[in-house]
């Protein structure tokens, strides 16, 4: 099989702490990464900008008192991730060494707003919940109204809370977690207007994208003992479907140790057209594959 230039986690991947918080260390690492860019001579930031100066002062204070158990660090981390999410939506990908975050002259109101949104969502009087706004589709709205009346005596908040609780409980099982990852990948592929075929066949990847000759295999956990079965599935997909690209997608919150063990298969080039990435980098991966296919044609 001919070699392809494959997008790798090491080239397209963004750190998990850019997208989600696992503990206080993720907040610290994100803030310090941004601070390194802010403080870099001849870097992308205007050194004497008032907002940039305010951020530097904040970081200086955090270093003095410590990051752990610091609620302001927690809220600033949320604010930074919101800005990174906006950047990702607006320009597909970003590089903190090049692209800048617009800092307000005073960060305190921004941090306070995040705190209020987190713990006092009811204070925002401009946001009102109604079945009409939540369920524009009339058939879905009618079903929701019936369930809400029957189960929660018309209490919309209680109904929504129960739905979230049920989803949380269902996602604790391995099979549900895999389905959740599959749905995320399907949604991202749909946003790119790509046809997706679900395989669910022994010896084939979970998803197949015909236009890209791309097979997508989902794994939500990883053990060394899983390697033989994974390689067999990928090899069989290559043989049966003549795939040009294969990717194994894992959760963002898989441990770094497990992720590196899994990526060892990619580095050994056991499967030459294989990439192994976290789900948060899936859109960027597919975009790179689309570009390579255009060049190929």
pLDDT of 170 reads 61
User: Tens of pLDDT along 147-171?
Assistant: 888 888 888 888 888 888 877 666 5
Burial of 166 (C-beta count, 10 Å sphere; 0-12/13-18/19+): exposed
CA distances to 4, 23, 97, 190 from 18, rounded to whole Å, are 29, 13, 14, 24
Q: What is the pTM of this model?
A: 0.65
Of residues 185, 197, 209, the one with CA closest to residue 284: 185
pLDDT of 128 reads 61
Tokens in use for 222? 């990883």
Dihedral sign computed on CA atoms, order 28, 79, 106, 112? negative
277: β partners: 249
- The residues spanned by each domain of the chain are 12-123, 131-170, 174-296
DSSP states of 139-165:
HHHHHHHHHHHHHHTT-HHHHHHHHHH
User: Tens of pLDDT along 197-245?
Assistant: 987 677 899 999 999 999 999 998 888 899 999 999 999 999 999 999 9
DSSP states of 64-125:
HH-STT-HHHHHHHHHHHHHHHHHHHHHS---TTTS-----S-HHHHHHHHHHHHH-GGG-T
pLDDT, average across residues 26-30: 93
* Orientation of helix 282-296 relative to helix 174-191, angle to 10°: 50
Query: What's phi and psi for 43, nearest 5 deg?
Result: -85, -170
| Contact residues for 45 (Cβ-Cβ < 8 A; gap 6+) | 37, 38, 52, 100
Of residues 91, 283, 90, the one with CA closest to residue 187: 283
215: β partners: 208, 246
| Contact residues for 89 (Cβ-Cβ < 8 A; gap 6+) | none
User: Tens of pLDDT along 256-283?
Assistant: 889 999 999 999 998 999 999 998 889 8
Residue 1 pLDDT class (50, 70, 90 cuts) = very low
Which pairs count as long-range contacts for 210-215, CB under 8 Å and 24+ apart, including other chains? 211/293, 212/244, 212/245, 212/286, 212/289, 212/290, 212/293, 213/241, 213/242, 213/243, 213/244, 213/245, 214/243, 214/244, 214/245, 214/246, 214/247, 214/286, 214/289, 215/241, 215/243, 215/245, 215/246, 215/247
Mean pLDDT for all residues in the chain: 85
Residue 126 clears pLDDT 50, i.e. is over it: no
Task: Give the CATH number of domain 174-296; options: 3.90.1480, 3.40.50, 1.10.3470, 3.80.10.
Answer: 3.40.50
Of residues 69, 58, 9, the one with CA closest to residue 35: 58
126, 116 contact by CB (below 8 A): no
pLDDT of 2 reads 45
273, 238 contact by CB (below 8 A): yes
Element (DSSP H or E) covering residue 138: helix 138-152
């Amino acid at each position: 099989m001919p070699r392809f230039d494959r997008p790798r986690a090491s080239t397209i991947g963004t750190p998990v702490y850019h997208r989600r918080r696992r503990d206080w260390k993720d907040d610290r690492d994100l803030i310090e990464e941004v601070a390194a860019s802010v403080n870099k001579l001849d870097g992308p930031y205007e050194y004497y900008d008032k907002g940039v100066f305010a951020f530097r002062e904040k970081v200086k204070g955090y270093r003095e008192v410590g990051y752990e158990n610091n609620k302001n660090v927690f809220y600033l981390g949320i604010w930074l991730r919101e800005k990174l999410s906006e950047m990702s939506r607006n320009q597909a990908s970003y590089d903190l060494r090049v692209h800048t975050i617009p800092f307000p002259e005073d960060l305190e109101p921004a941090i306070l707003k995040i705190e209020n949104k987190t713990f006092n969502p009811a204070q925002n009087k401009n946001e009102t919940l109604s079945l009409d706004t939540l369920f524009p589709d009339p058939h879905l709205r009618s079903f929701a109204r019936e369930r809400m009346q029957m189960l929660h005596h018309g209490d919309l908040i209680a109904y929504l809370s129960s739905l979230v609780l049920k989803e949380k409980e269902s996602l604790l099982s391995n099979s549900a977690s895999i389905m959740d990852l599959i749905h995320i990948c399907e949604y991202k592929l749909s946003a790119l207007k790509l046809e997706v075929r679900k395989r669910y066949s022994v010896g084939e990847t979970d998803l197949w994208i015909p236009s890209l000759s791309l097979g997508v295999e989902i794994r939500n956990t990883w053990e060394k003992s899983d390697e033989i079965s994974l390689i067999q599935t990928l090899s069989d997909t290559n043989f049966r479907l003549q795939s040009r690209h294969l990717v194994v997608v894992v959760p963002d919150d898989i441990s770094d140790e497990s992720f590196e063990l899994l990526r060892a298969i990619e580095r050994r080039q056991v499967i030459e057209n294989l990439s192994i990435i976290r789900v948060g980098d899936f859109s960027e991966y597919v975009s790179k594959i689309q570009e390579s296919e255009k060049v190929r044609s």
